Structure 1
Amino acid sequence: MGFFAIALVLFWIKTYIIYLIEFDLGVSNGMQQFLLFLNPLSSGLIFLGLALFAKGKKVGIWIIIIEAVLSFLMYANVVFYRFNSDFITVAVLMQTENFGSLGGSIVSLMEWRDLLYTLDIILLIVLFKKLNINWTVVRTKARRPITVLAAGILVFTINLGLAEIDRPQLLERTFDRNYLVKYLGIYNFTIYDTIQSTKSSTQRVFADSSDITEVENYTKSKYAKPNAEFFGKGAGKNIIKIHLESFQSFLIDYELHGEEVTPFLNSLVHDESLDYTYFDNFFHQTEQGKTADAELIMDNSLYGLPQGSAFSTKGNNTYQALPAILGQQQGYTSGIFHGDGKSFWNRDEVYKSFGVDEFYHEDYYDMSEENVINYGLKDKPFFEQSMPYLEEMDQPFYAHMMTLTNHHPYLIDEEEASLAPAETGDGSVDRYFQTARYLDESLEQFFSDLKEAGLYEDSIIMIYGDHYGISDNHNRAMAEIIGEEITPLKNAELQRVPFMIRVPGVDGQGTNHEYSSMVDVVPTLLHILGIDSLDYILFGTDMFSEDHKDFVPFRNGDFITEKYSSISGVYYDNETKEVIEEPTEDMKAMKETVLHELGLSDKVMYGDLLRFYTPNEDWEPVDVNDYFYVKEEETE
């Protein structure tokens, strides 16, 4: 019991210290600080207490093993959080096929001081060796470990009760894992997440056709009529959709060392003769799926999952995605271009469910050492090598071009860097501007190639950023970059990503200030093509419509509007940046709408509800057996 007590105290202290050092949990009052300190105790009592059922010195061995396993779980969350500002979920752990290519990023997130997090294990091993001759040979009476477990349950019950007082309906209402860890601890959160994942996996079994009715009624009520100026003006035009990896809007017009970081993109924004419309209040809505979430949202107008990636966990769902809609309604050929492995994020399976005709993956590209860095093919050879495939596609086509170089940890060969790094002392932030410049240069060359091939003028060009590049773990450096403190509101504002679009034959609007987001892209593009979005289950609305709904939900339940925002349960005035101490009933109602919308989208995803929905009488469900993403030479 003495060894158990020492192990418990070491575990308790280490966990609390890591909470304070590694995680930004937003502790705002004495109650939250007390719960942060208390919650490791219940986990320690319960998990370490299980070892007391063993016999003799096996108790000590099991205590060390359990403490080591819990420490590994904690450290895995530490490394994951350093880039994602989030915690590992069961759904993330199911994405094991992606881990092999993450090695460089993971190593870059480790620090030498992390070795200190093994001190408790080392001390326990040393102490165990010292006490080797003093262990009893009999099994302790069962009432002792049972008492310890009961104490752990009691502490957890008190913990949960106090948490519910400070944050009512904690387990029922929040999508935010930060709250769960802050109030209940990382280990209790892991148990909770496991239970939730098990429940969500059974939802498809119990879903039936009546479940889609509520969703359909909501999306139909939210529908925004198309803008006559744009409706149908792009019918039959090629669509070239360009994905800017990890690209945030603050890069537009940003100058470093007296130079524009993205001069080419800046020219698209500001040169009215180019006829682009740039939405400067466009936000990403991704969660743990990051790029895969962006793909899901922007091809389906559905939200990603609150945990993990839908591509990995819901890849076999029924989808009525943009590629299938365009193919059936207007005879489009669809293709996705990505210089990475075809199975990453389960893409080679998900794209079949989307109705994507061609998937140009790493087998189609020259992936020799000089062309590859970090996650895959460099952007310049990617665009260059994609051109022949693009020219061969049957027209009209829907081509989705996915860049890679501007991805954490933002690596670039010295000879290819045309901009000096920033000087904040934070490597990721400093290099971010170099890879963003490289992306900008590659895009300029791609546009030249499109024009030379005769594909530019008669194509709808759509450019967007997929998610943030700099997480809030880099707030010190980012405050230096933008010259102001990174408050919770400012961090939300930094989730802007660029979205710009050019429709042939239609005058661009210049800069459009409408608040909009990824879920709005599908209905916007459908209307440009002359397809009424009312037939489909879509959570967004046409960004050009006068009836566009301009509130932006984030996946964790926060939201932002033109006048005010709700971040971590706190309302802010967007103009004054001050906290709104007494939010209006309309603000509270908007919060309820956001949570309701996210909940309905989750019902669609977890219940696979689109299998019960037919958009129109001409709709043919996508048959995944019609698609085969293997390069022709490989089948000979």
Structure 2
Amino acid sequence: MSTGLKRIRNIFNTTLGFYLLVVVLFTLKTYLCYRTDFTLGSSGSVQNFLLFVNPIPSAMLLFGIALYFRGKLSYWLMLIIDFLQSTWLFANILYYREFSDFLSMGIIKGTGDVQNNLGKSLMEILHPTDFIAYADIILLILLLLFRVIKIEKKPFKKRYALLITVLSFVLMFAEYNVANADRSGLLTRTFDNNYIVKYLGLNEYAAFNIYQNHKETATRANAKEKDLKQVQDFIKKNQISPNAEYYGKEKGKNVFIIHLESFQQFLIDYKVDGKEVTPNINKFYHNQNTLAFDNFYHQVAQGKTSDAETMLENSLYGLPQGSAMVSYGAQNTYQAAPSILNQDGYSSASFHGDVPTFWNRNNAYKSWGYEYFFSSSYYKNKPEYNVGYGMKDKIFFDQSIKYIQQLPQPFYAKMITLTNHYPYELDKQNTDFPATNTGDSTVDPYVQTAHYLDQSFGEFQDYLEKSGLAKNSVVVLYGDHYGISNNHRPAIAKLLGKKSVNKYDLAQFQKVPFMINGSNINGKVDHTYGGEIDVLPTLLHLLGVNNDNMIQFGHDLLSANNQQIVPFRNGDFVSKQYTKVGGTIYDTSTGKEIKPDDEQKKQIQTIQDYVNDSLSNSDKVIYGDLLRFHKINGYKPVNKKEINYGKTDALKKLEQTNKSKKTDLVSQNDNKSTVSDFSTDAPELK
């Protein structure tokens, strides 16, 4: 062995040398994962430099803990710490691939509520190369086992260990200052989690997230009634009057909310090999009694579907991290659509072909005032009835009819479809539509499950017509969030018929459908800009329900005074004039990037101030549970103790209510069931 190699080996045969090797290998591995597994958008010398060095300070600090111990224990501690950090990295690689975001304490706390049926998705998400997250540990263990590196038995001096600890904090502080100089207000303003990881690192993001979570818990404990005043002032300042032409147009009608899972706007009128992907939804979209909004955006963050439901039924934004339904669904007070309409004589029910604990729905729905929740225990189930995240949509609609016909009218009913969910799997007997040919295995089957969802909706719509419910119901269709994440840029470009896509294109790709159909509505395709936060006030005004004194952050999309500003959870926005993505501003009508002049900067800042205030005030409501202090004349808060979703108790309550009220569909049909009015071609039921 040459003298040079011996010297290098002698260095690694010391505790300090092994420590430095661990830090270097961990840093290189993390940087490689940053580049290959995440889309952090680093640009310029400062950002690229920080991206490379940001794993070092926290690695020095955490691995440095082992230096306070001696001999084998020191080495074992470094390997254990490396394993824990690598597992955190590995978990984020998988989560990011599916959700384009990083794990948070809110998500981790809610793991038990969202883990059901995730096994199959995990196998779809997992790539063999992901295990590179553990490569350095394997290498280090082999070096020790084969005694290429020998364990130093004498203790590492404590003063040197302390010096390394201090140095790691100094480097963290220096890193933060450089990052904050390049991105002002990095930790104080509402930014995408990608920014924090890009500038500070994955471990620092975790630490900041834990701090945020603790702060949120303390905020609720310390919240006072006076804290609501600032929120009310903001709501009052931005309140707009309803459109007199539409106000009360559908008063007293049943409401169906059809939740189109992972359904994006581009699917409307989209064709593959000359065939419409969604012919039934297309027909509904263009119906003479349908108000269809073609500039409607999902606004979800980490909570995905739960964020969409929170916005849709509460007009409150989802949280910056985690899910409001999971973290605050049980204990908070809400003024949600079911409880609001209950004051107006409505019954309410949600239908979902999966377990009730998913997204903590069994608790959140009680807080929202849902009287009934028909989840998996209410449905007959067989293995072939399910795919991915739950019951296939055709079977779900088929089995829901017997409960729908028992609901006292008028009712508010939400139907949550599931089949069009990642990984977009469908058995051969249900697949009769061609896949796209982008070459992306995640994207190409998307149109097939979307087509199946469309067929399912078509069957349900036929039932509404045959049973007579259609004429006395408002039917709302909406897409909860994207189905194809922005990580699939080449495939998105092919879907859109473009050579490539930029940030503006990706922002526009976040459009989802929103349609309202009612017999008294003069239908049209409305170009108003809006999002999920706007659904509740729009629907309430159509039903003739006054929301003047309610805490709602959305606006009636039909009002002439609507500002048409769509805030996104990361602080970006779309308005009629401008689209902001990160630090880039586009002309919304042309899609061209603009360099704002002084007047435009003022306009953009006014919009940004509204976006920031809207998000922060909504957060105050949820974190502080401020609605517990809010009183509305004539509004009775939800009494969760009166609500029981157990099948026996719920069906008994339905039976007793219908005996006294006789407003359910069966009673109005001379006590004859309408189940036979529903027809499906589901092969599993033949």
TM-score by length of 2: 0.90
Q: Structure 2: which amino acid aligns with 1:95?
A: G
Structure 2 equivalent of residue 596 of structure 1: 613
Structure 2 equivalent of residue 181 of structure 1: 197
Q: 1:286 aligned to 285, 297, 300, which one?
A: 300
Contact 2:431-2:448 within 8 A present in 1 as well: yes
Matches within 5 A, 1:159-308: 159-272=175-288, 275-308=289-322
Deviation at 1:633, TM superposition (A): 7.5
Deviation at 1:578, TM superposition (A): 2.7
1:503 aligns with 2:513: no
Q: 2:528 aligned to 502, 514, 521, which one?
A: 514
Q: Structure 2: which amino acid aligns with 1:51?
A: A
Deviation at 1:486, TM superposition (A): 2.3
Q: Distance in 1 between matches of 2:529 and 2:120?
A: 36
Structure 2 equivalent of residue 80 of structure 1: 95
Deviation at 1:135, TM superposition (A): 2.6
Deviation at 1:226, TM superposition (A): 1.2
Deviation at 1:481, TM superposition (A): 1.4
Matches within 5 A, 1:27-106: 27-97=42-112, 98-106=114-122
Structure 2 equivalent of residue 337 of structure 1: 351
Q: Distance in 2 between matches of 1:576 and 1:241?
A: 33
Distance change in 2, residues 1:153/1:479 (3 Å): same
Deviations 1:274-320 (A, max 9, x none): x1010000111111111111111111000011100111100110001
Structure 1 equivalent of residue 324 of structure 2: 310
Contact 2:307-2:324 within 8 A present in 1 as well: yes
Matches within 5 A, 1:234-633: 234-272=250-288, 275-315=289-329, 316-328=331-343, 330-484=344-498, 485-508=500-523, 510-582=524-596, 583-615=600-632, 617-632=633-648
Deviation at 1:137, TM superposition (A): 3.0
Q: Distance in 2 between matches of 1:498 and 1:305?
A: 22
- SS in structure 1 of the partner of residue 303 of structure 2: coil
Deviations 1:205-254 (A, max 9, x none): 11101000111111122112111111112111111110000000000011
Contact 1:222-1:549 within 8 A present in 2 as well: no
Q: 2:137 aligned to 102, 118, 121, which one?
A: 121
Q: Distance in 1 between matches of 2:196 and 2:469?
A: 50
Contact 1:83-1:473 within 8 A present in 2 as well: no
Give runs of ≥4 in structure 1 deviating > 6 Å: 633-636
Deviations 1:395-414 (A, max 9, x none): 00001011000000001011
Deviation at 1:321, TM superposition (A): 0.7
Q: Distance in 1 between matches of 2:583 and 2:111?
A: 33
1:149 aligns with 2:165: yes
> Any unmatched runs of 5+ in structure 1?
none
Q: Structure 2: which amino acid aligns with 1:592?
A: D
- SS in structure 2 of the partner of residue 514 of structure 1: strand
Decide which moves more: 247-256 or 213-222.
213-222
Q: Structure 2: which amino acid aligns with 1:258?
A: G
Structure 1 equivalent of residue 24 of structure 2: 9
* Structure with greater Cα Rg: 2
Contact 1:240-1:462 within 8 A present in 2 as well: yes
Q: Distance in 1 between matches of 2:397 and 2:22?
A: 56
Q: Distance in 2 between matches of 1:59 and 1:144?
A: 14
Kindly report the root-mean-square deviation, in angstroms, between the aligned alpha carbons of the 2 structures.
1.4
Contact 2:144-2:150 within 8 A present in 1 as well: no
Contact 1:219-1:539 within 8 A present in 2 as well: yes
Contact 1:60-1:128 within 8 A present in 2 as well: no
- SS in structure 2 of the partner of residue 398 of structure 1: strand
- SS in structure 2 of the partner of residue 392 of structure 1: coil
> Any unmatched runs of 5+ in structure 2?
1-15, 653-686
- SS in structure 2 of the partner of residue 285 of structure 1: coil
Q: Distance in 2 between matches of 1:459 and 1:31?
A: 57
Q: Structure 2: which amino acid aligns with 1:16?
A: Y
- SS in structure 2 of the partner of residue 168 of structure 1: coil
Q: Structure 2: which amino acid aligns with 1:556?
A: N
Deviations 1:154-192 (A, max 9, x none): 211111111111011111013311110110011111111
Deviation at 1:44, TM superposition (A): 1.3
Deviation at 1:133, TM superposition (A): 8.8
Matches within 5 A, 1:104-115: 104-115=120-131
Q: Distance in 1 between matches of 2:19 and 2:58?
A: 13
Q: Distance in 1 between matches of 2:361 and 2:122?
A: 22
Deviations 1:432-471 (A, max 9, x none): 0000000000000001111111111110111100000000
Deviations 1:558-582 (A, max 9, x none): 1001121111122111233232223
Q: Distance in 2 between matches of 1:231 and 1:355?
A: 24
Deviations 1:106-161 (A, max 9, x none): 11111122233322111110112234994333322111211111221121111111
Contact 1:86-1:177 within 8 A present in 2 as well: yes
- SS in structure 2 of the partner of residue 462 of structure 1: strand
Q: Distance in 2 between matches of 1:218 and 1:280?
A: 28
Deviation at 1:103, TM superposition (A): 1.1
- SS in structure 1 of the partner of residue 188 of structure 2: helix
Deviation at 1:196, TM superposition (A): 0.8
Contact 1:211-1:609 within 8 A present in 2 as well: yes
Deviation at 1:54, TM superposition (A): 1.4
Q: Structure 2: which amino acid aligns with 1:106?
A: L
Deviations 1:456-492 (A, max 9, x none): 1110111100000000111121111112222111111
- SS in structure 1 of the partner of residue 255 of structure 2: strand
Contact 2:291-2:521 within 8 A present in 1 as well: no
- SS in structure 1 of the partner of residue 175 of structure 2: helix
Q: Distance in 2 between matches of 1:376 and 1:107?
A: 17
Q: Structure 2: which amino acid aligns with 1:411?
A: E
Decide which moves more: 596-605 or 451-460.
451-460
Contact 2:29-2:132 within 8 A present in 1 as well: no
- SS in structure 2 of the partner of residue 457 of structure 1: helix
User: What fraction of aligned residue pairs are identical, expressed as a percent?
Assistant: 42
Contact 2:192-2:570 within 8 A present in 1 as well: yes
Q: Structure 2: which amino acid aligns with 1:42?
A: P
- SS in structure 1 of the partner of residue 258 of structure 2: strand
Q: Structure 1: which amino acid aligns with 2:506?
A: N
Q: Distance in 2 between matches of 1:504 and 1:152?
A: 67
Decide which moves more: 357-366 or 140-149.
140-149
Distance change in 2, residues 1:634/1:211 (3 Å): closer
- SS in structure 2 of the partner of residue 513 of structure 1: strand
Deviation at 1:635, TM superposition (A): 10
Q: Structure 1: which amino acid aligns with 2:546?
A: D
